[in-house]
Amino acid sequence: MVDSAEYVIRCNLPPLTNGYEKHVGVKTDLVSANPSILSQKYGSLLGARRKFMEKLCQYGNSMLLLPAFSYVGNIAVCMRAFHTIKDFGSPMQPIYFSPDYLKNLDSFWRTQGWKAVRLTTGMMLTSMALELCDNVHLYGFWPFNLHPHTFEELTNHYYDDKRPKGGFHAMPEEFKLLLKLHSQGVLKLHLGNCKPN
């Protein structure tokens, strides 16, 4: 289903190979790279950068969204990602959110009842998609660690159980907003099972 979409946006450099492709597809038009991932998994791109570039190869010539200007502390690592892409001659095109856009997005969602310190990347990308696309389908936005029907334990992502840093995001609160949009027909939340082999 994902690969049949006209435009596919993925959050935070998720894996698409090693069996995952049959569950999540491989088509990618835009993928985001959270600065915390660049720091934790790729040493802030201060040393060897090949592992980062090998990861990006999964996404072909898609655009890479770097939130360089969301916080001052993100600028340096995002600029290193930009220069790495250029130095390796990657076909990927780095793009950035405008700081004004992010500020307005934060203000808008606060008028809708959102109260956390900051929006998740998923919520930022969902907001962008709602502005640009006629039909928005979301996969992987279930924020709870139990299955809604079987009460089976679930991991945070389909590929790992890395939890967000406490105190910044309010995933259940964001999900409530997304569920409201789903109920209103603004977007479609897909909450079916996805179990990698």
Residues 73-83 pLDDT 10s: 889 999 999 99
169 is catalytic: yes
CA 32/CA 14 separation, integer angstroms: 9
Q: What is the CATH number of domain 9-190?
A: 3.90.1480.20
Q: What confidence tens digit (pLDDT) does each residue in 147-196 have?
A: 888 888 888 777 777 766 665 567 888 899 999 999 999 999 998 775 54
CB atoms within 10 A of CB 62: 19
- pLDDT above 90 (res 146): no
Query: What per-residue confidence (pLDDT) applies to 84?
Result: 96
Question: CA–CA distance from 14 to each of 114, 147, 190 (Å)?
Answer: 26, 21, 18
Structural element, H or E, at residue 176: helix 171-183
Percent of the chain scored above 70 by pLDDT? 94
CB atoms within 10 A of CB 81: 24
CA angle 11, 12, 14 (to 5 degrees): 85
Q: pLDDT higher for 128 or 68?
A: 128
Query: What per-residue confidence (pLDDT) applies to 10?
Result: 96
CA dihedral 176, 181, 182, 183 (to 10 degrees): 90
pTM of the model: 0.89
Q: What confidence tens digit (pLDDT) does each residue in 59-74 have?
A: 999 999 998 888 788 8
Q: Which of 23, 147, 157, 169 is catalytic?
A: 169
User: Six-digit token pair at 123?
Assistant: 């919520």
Question: CA–CA distance from 137 to each of 80, 166, 171, 183 (Å)?
Answer: 32, 27, 18, 13
Q: Running DSSP on this structure, what letter comes out for residue 96?
A: -
Q: Find the mean pLDDT for residues 122-144.
A: 93
Query: What per-residue confidence (pLDDT) applies to 197?
Result: 41
The single residue listed with the structure tokens 């450099």 is 13
Half-sphere exposure of 111 (CA within 13 A, CB side): 5
Query: What per-residue confidence (pLDDT) applies to 166?
Result: 63
